[in-house]
């Protein structure tokens, strides 16, 4: 059974189109590379940059290995505390991706639930939920997150809350729209006349039929969240210094950037770029494939 | 269940049903005071043009009216129980098990993500205590009954693997599998090829007759109804204009509207044309004239028709008509 399902999947149009779509292949390779890095990276780099015992102040501000004065032990150089930039990036990517993925899952769960309830129930509940969403949308998401973080103070869980409270809206709106459309379909009416309770209609008949757009939104949103988190941390209201994400690494190097110590900021910046680029390539592919209107 | 007194009461008694919609433009009276019976094992045709409120009668019986719509008055007695007084929980025991409904468009009536076996089985899981094996057998049997070849193999197929006519057969199978006593079919063949419409109507008739169930056939196709129905109810702008035994209504229509509908059926063998014999269109239901709703289109309207609405005159089982100047009994 599972073998035939796999065969069917491999023979599907999605897989067929994927193989012929170079950006999608590149995007997924980048994403896979990051998945590998955050899973096994800490075991591969020599240093734990947040274990003070492992830091050597003598090695501070070393340039990348291939430049004059570089140390082959530190490929991408070190920062002011003698932290290996490469090791910092590996650890920082873990934090950035963890925040991006977790906040995406939380937003998705919250937004999808509220969207389905609003669309299915209608009436006052729909009005209340969607007006909150509208208000939320009338502020730029970075601004809302910035405001919330200023109120909360720094911390990973606070970043998650801030991102979720700006991120749920897009799911709620998408899902509500799809739910309204699906609700008109006769099979939903048929499910109602067959005596199915509402929660079963929602879980069995509506949810699976509104999932497709969610997948696309969720993929792209991981990239967006990584960027927002980086902005927050860069502005000093994101993650704490003890758990630096990629954004905080950029900020740490930014102070000395104009003294010619460019590698501390630039490498984490490039990594963010690559990560978001890979995610977006993948997201664009999914959007094109899963949206019948674009075919 | 208590024993029914003789003679047995009708399975469904709709009394003075009012289904209204509160809109910004005022109250839309989609159904305004409809009364009719459906006897046990009887086939009743609910006929009228689009916008006549016939679908709303079906939805009301199923209690599927969503806001801004509401059942503003009347009673719907199903085997003596007033459906209007039931809560959602009680309704769920009636829906699917006692009363089933079939919709117009077989293309969207099935969930594209589940196999038809799964969707048939859902009804049995919901309404019976049968084991998985018994349910499977029942599903195969049911598919066989509605004329799906190789039912065992077809159980695992998805809706998109069926043609429109085959899908409507599956829809009928799903509706009938839990053994309902009343089937409401809302324009069940309108979306289908003319060549299979008759087949499916016959199929539905057989399925209902075999189980001793009743059928409400909602349609604008008076020709189809005339061949199947025991009794006919003609609706115009939310009101019943004529009601009676199928034969009486078809052969001796007493309301000018029924007469107009009958006249607009082309002769046998010819392609169906648009209804053109009744001048004008169905009026805006929010701005009905004070008198008879049909008066503006009626060839024999008199001043009185524009002032007062005629009442439905006649016994509940006899041939009743709501017209100030009912047509004399004569062959159509």
Output the pLDDT for position A112: 95
Q: Which residue has the tokens 């009708």?
A: B10
The pLDDT assigned to B2 comes to 54
pLDDT confidence of residue B141: 92
pLDDT, one tens digit per residue, over A264-290 is: 889 999 999 999 999 999 998 988 888
Mind listing the pLDDT tens digit for each residue in A143-169? 888 888 988 888 899 999 999 999 999
Nearest to B127 among A189, A190, A195 (CB): A195
Q: Which residue of A has its CA nearest to B119?
A: A191
Map out the domains of chain A with their CATH numbers.
20-270 (1.10.3720.10)
Interface test with A, best of B111, B127, B159 (most A CBs within 10 A): B111
Chain B residues touching A195 at Cβ < 8 A: 91-97, 126-127
Cβ(A62)–Cβ(A185) below 8 Å: no
CA dihedral A204, A210, A212, A216 (to 10 degrees): -130
Instruction: List strand residue ranges (DSSP E) for chain B, in order.
Output: 12-23, 26-38, 43-47, 69-78, 81-82, 99-102, 182-186, 214-219, 231-236, 239-245, 320-321
What share of chain A in percent tops pLDDT 90?
38
The tens digit of pLDDT for each residue in B54-67 reads 888 998 999 988 87
Note the pTM of the prediction, 2 decimals.
0.77
Please identify which residue in the block is written with the tokens 């650890």: A91
Which residues in chain B are contacts of A192 at CB distance < 8 A? 62, 64, 95
Interface check A212 vs B, CB under 8 A: no
Contact A190 B109 (CB under 8 A): yes
A-chain CB neighbours of B91 within 8 Å are 195
pLDDT digits (tens, 9 = 90+) for B98-142: 999 998 887 888 988 899 999 999 999 989 888 999 999 999 999
Alpha carbon of B235: minimum distance to chain A alpha carbons (Å): 23
DSSP category for residue A203: I
Please name which of A290, A111, A116 lies closest in space to residue A205, comparing C-alpha atoms: A116
Cα distances (angstroms) measured from residue B94 to each of B42, B102, B186: 19, 15, 18
Question: CA-based angle B225:B229:B231, to the nearest 5?
Answer: 115
Which carries the bigger pLDDT value, residue B251 or residue A114? A114
pLDDT score for A99: 94
Distance in angstroms (rounded) separating the CA atoms of residues A85 and A87: 5
Nearest to A193 among B64, B110, B122 (CB): B64
Whether residue B171 and residue A185 make contact (CB cut-off 8 A), yes or no, is no
B134 phi, psi to nearest 5 deg:
-65, -40
CA B242 to each of CA B221, B233, B247: distance values in angstroms, whole numbers, following the listed order: 16, 6, 13
Check whether B152 has a pLDDT greater than 80. Answer: yes
Residue A29 has pLDDT above 70, yes or no: yes
Cβ contacts below 8 Å, chain A against chain B, sum to 63
Q: Which residue, among B108, B174, B176, would best test binding to A if mutated, counting the most A CBs under 10 Å from its CB?
A: B108
Q: How far apart are CA A290 and CA B15, in angstroms?
A: 50
pLDDT of residue A127: 94
Beta bridge partners of B100: B183
Tens of pLDDT, residue by residue over A55-110, are: 777 777 778 878 777 777 778 888 877 788 888 899 899 999 999 999 999 999 99
B161 CB-side CA count, 13 A:
12
Write out chain B residues lying below 8 Å of A120, CB-based.
Answer: none
Q: Which range, of A14-28, A139-153, B318-332, averages the lowest pLDDT?
A: B318-332
Rg, chain B, Cα only = 20
Q: pLDDT confidence of A1, banded at 50, 70, 90?
A: very low
- Are the beta carbons of B127 and A186 separated by less than 8 Å? no
pLDDT in tens, A201-260: 999 889 988 888 899 899 999 999 999 999 999 888 888 888 888 888 888 888 888 887
Quick one: CA torsion of A237, A242, A244, A249, rounded to 10 degrees? 90
Mean pLDDT for chain A? 87
Query: Are B108 and A197 inside 8 Å of each other by CB?
Result: no
- The Cα A70–Cα A78 span in angstroms is 9
Average pLDDT value for residue range A9-25: 86
User: For residues B243 and B312, is the Cβ–Cβ distance under 8 A?
Assistant: yes
Please report which confidence band the pLDDT of residue B332 belongs to, taking 50, 70 and 90 as the band edges: very low
Question: What does the DSSP 8-state code read for residue A84?
Answer: B
Q: Which residues of A touch B156 (CB under 8 A)?
A: none
> String of b and e for A20-37 (b: at least 16 CB within 10 Å)?
ebeebeebbebbeebeeb
Q: Give the count of beta carbons closer than 10 Å to the beta carbon of residue B196.
A: 17
Question: Given this model, what pLDDT does residue A76 score?
Answer: 85
Rounded Cα gap, residues A214 and A171, in angstroms: 7
Chain B interface includes A123 (CB < 8 A)? yes
What single string gives the DSSP state of each residue in B38-101? E-TT-EEEEE--TTSSHHHHHHHHTT-PPTTEEEEEEEEEETTEEGGG--HHHHHHHBTTTEEE
Mean pLDDT, residues B79-100 taken together = 89
Using CB atoms, pick whichever of A186, A196, A197 lies closest to residue B108.
A186
Q: What is the pLDDT of residue A60?
A: 77
CB contact under 8 A, B171 and A196: no
Q: Give the C-alpha separation, A26 to A28, whole Å.
A: 6
Answer whether residue B275 shows pLDDT above 50: no
Cα A134 from chain centroid (whole Å): 23
Examine the predicted complex and report whether its ipTM is higher than 0.95. Answer: no
In the predicted structure, residue B267 carries a pLDDT above the cut 80: no
SS3 content of chain B, % helix, strand, coil (to 5): 35, 20, 45
């Amino acid at each position: 059974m599972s073998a035939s399902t796999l065969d069917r999947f491999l023979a599907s149009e999605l897989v067929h189109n994927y193989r012929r779509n170079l950006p999608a292949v590149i995007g997924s390779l980048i994403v896979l590379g990051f998945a590998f890095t955050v899973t096994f990276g800490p075991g591969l780099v020599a240093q734990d940059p947040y274990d003070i015992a492992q830091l050597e102040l003598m090695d501070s501000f070393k340039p990348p290995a291939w430049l004059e004065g570089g140390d082959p032990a530190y490929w991408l150089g070190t920062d002011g505390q003698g932290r290996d930039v490469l090791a910092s990036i590996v650890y920082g990517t873990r934090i950035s991706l963890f925040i991006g993925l977790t906040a995406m899952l939380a937003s998705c769960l919250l937004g999808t639930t509220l969207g389905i309830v609003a669309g299915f129930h209608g009436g006052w509940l729909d009005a209340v939920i969607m007006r909150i969403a509208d208000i939320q949308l009338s502020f730029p998401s970075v601004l809302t997150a910035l405001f919330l973080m200023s109120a909360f103070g720094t911390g990973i869980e606070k970043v998650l809350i801030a991102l979720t409270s700006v991120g749920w809206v897009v799911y709620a709106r998408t899902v509500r729209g799809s739910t309204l459309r699906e609700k008109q379909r006769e099979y939903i009416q048929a499910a109602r006349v067959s005596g199915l309770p509402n929660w079963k209609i929602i879980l069995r008949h509506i949810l699976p039929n509104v999932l497709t757009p969610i997948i696309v939104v969720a993929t792209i949103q991981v990239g967006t969240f990584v960027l927002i988190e980086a902005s927050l941390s860069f502005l000093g209201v994101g993650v704490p210094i003890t758990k630096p994400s990629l954004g905080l690494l950029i900020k740490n190097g930014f102070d000395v950037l104009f003294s010619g110590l460019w590698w501390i900021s630039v490498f984490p910046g490039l990594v963010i770029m690559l990560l978001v680029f890979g995610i977006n390539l993948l997201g664009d592919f999914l959007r094109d494939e899963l949206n019948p209107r674009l075919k | 269940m208590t024993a029914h007194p003789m003679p047995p009461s009708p399975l469904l008694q709709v009394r003075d049903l009012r289904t209204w919609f509160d809109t910004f433009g005022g109250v839309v009276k989609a159904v305004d005071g409809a009364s009719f019976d459906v006897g046990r094992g009887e086939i009743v045709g609910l006929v009228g043009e689009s916008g006549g409120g016939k679908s709303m009668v079906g939805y009301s019986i199923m209690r599927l009216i969503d806001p801004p719509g509401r059942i503003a008055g009347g009673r719907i007695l199903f085997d003596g129980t007033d459906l209007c007084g039931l809560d959602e929980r009680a309704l769920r025991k009636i829906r699917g098990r006692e009363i089933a409904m079939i919709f117009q468009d077989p293309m969207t009536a099935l969930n594209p993500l589940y196999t038809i076996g799964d969707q048939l089985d859902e009804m049995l899981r919901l309404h019976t205590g049968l084991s998985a094996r018994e349910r499977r057998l029942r599903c195969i049997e049911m598919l066989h009954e509605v004329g799906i070849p190789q039912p065992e193999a077809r159980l695992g197929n998805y809706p998109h693997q069926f043609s429109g006519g085959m899908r409507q057969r599956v829809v009928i199978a799903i509706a009938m599998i839990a053994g309902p006593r009343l089937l409401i079919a809302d324009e069940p063949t309108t979306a289908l090829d003319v060549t299979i419409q008759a087949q499916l109507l016959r199929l539905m008739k057989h399925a209902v007759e075999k189980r001793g169930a009743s059928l409400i056939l909602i349609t604008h196709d008076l020709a189809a109804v005339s061949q199947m129905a025991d009794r006919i109810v003609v609706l115009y702008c939310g009101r019943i204009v004529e009601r009676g035994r199928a034969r009486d209504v078809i052969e001796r229509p007493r309301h000018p509207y029924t007469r107009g509908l009958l006249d607009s059926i082309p002769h046998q063998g010819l392609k169906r044309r648009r209804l053109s014999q009744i001048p004008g269109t169905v009026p805006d239901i929010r701005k009905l004239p004070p008198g008879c709703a049909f008066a503006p289109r009626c060839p024999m309207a008199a001043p009185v028709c524009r002032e007062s609405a005629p009442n439905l005159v006649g016994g509940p089982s006899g041939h009743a008509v709501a017209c100030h100047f009912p047509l004399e009994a004569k062959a159509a």
